[in-house]
A = this chain, B = another copy of it.
Amino acid sequence: MLPEPSAPREDRYEAPEVVVARLPQYVRILSRLQQEGAQVVSSQQLGEKLQVTPAQIRKDLSYFGRFGKQGRGYSVTHLLGRLKQILGLNSYWNVAVVGVGRLGRAILSYPGFSPDGFRLVAAFDENPEVVGQEVAGLEVLPMIRLNQEVRERNIAIAIVAVPTDHTQQVVDRLVECGVRAMLNYAPITPQVTESVKIRNIDPVLSLQSMTYYLTDGFEG
């Protein structure tokens, strides 16, 4: 009899992607509660802050373990620590920004990444006029240095901010260099193998998904 094919088996793979996507929100709220000095929080209280049901929070957490105390709730510090551990947010992730145009510069200057565990450690551009410039404390490197830098600086994540018609090739290039997670700002959905994760930041799609609800009928 043939062995089973290599199906998902470990517990951690059982958590639906939609659940994993909510965990960072829990982390954010818990961080704030911790700063405010809160010791304990219930699923009820978390749910109010996040506008989700307490049952959903308890169910989400139950995919990963039992973190609460019956009758009490969750220790803010303990739950925060465990969630960070589960998400891999206990240490910093080194991130490369590819594409140093207007958008890339805004991303490099954005102060919101490093407080949350992401260090922008390298910037790349293919334009020779941009290469060598210093942007937000980083020297812009040529694309040819990508492979080397990814390895030397242990870069696991890239933020892709290149023109739309270059995006797929840049993504392919990053995958070749071993980058397995990317944040893409171009208005396309790059194709990657299943083992690579991509999230797209696409404000136009977000806007267009709201106009439906602003429109009273079918007439344009």
Contact = CB atoms under 8 A, between A and B. Distances in A.
Contacts of A20: 209, 212-213
A214 B183 contact: no
B91 A220 contact: yes
B12 A218 contact: yes
Nearest to A91: B220
Interface string A10-50: 10100000001101110110000000000000000000001
Interface residues of A, number: 61
A52 B20 CA distance: 21
7 contacts: A87-B211, A87-B212, A107-B203, A113-B204, A197-B213, A199-B206, A201-B203
Contacts of A181: 207, 210-211, 213-214
Interface string A186-219: 0101010000010101011111111111110111
Interface in A88-118: 88-91, 93, 95, 102-103, 106-107, 109-110, 112-113, 116-118
Interface in A69-101: 84-91, 93, 95
A51 interface: yes
A156 interface: yes
A87 B209 CA distance: 7
A150 interface: no
Interface string A163-179: 00000000000000000
A104 B204 CA distance: 15
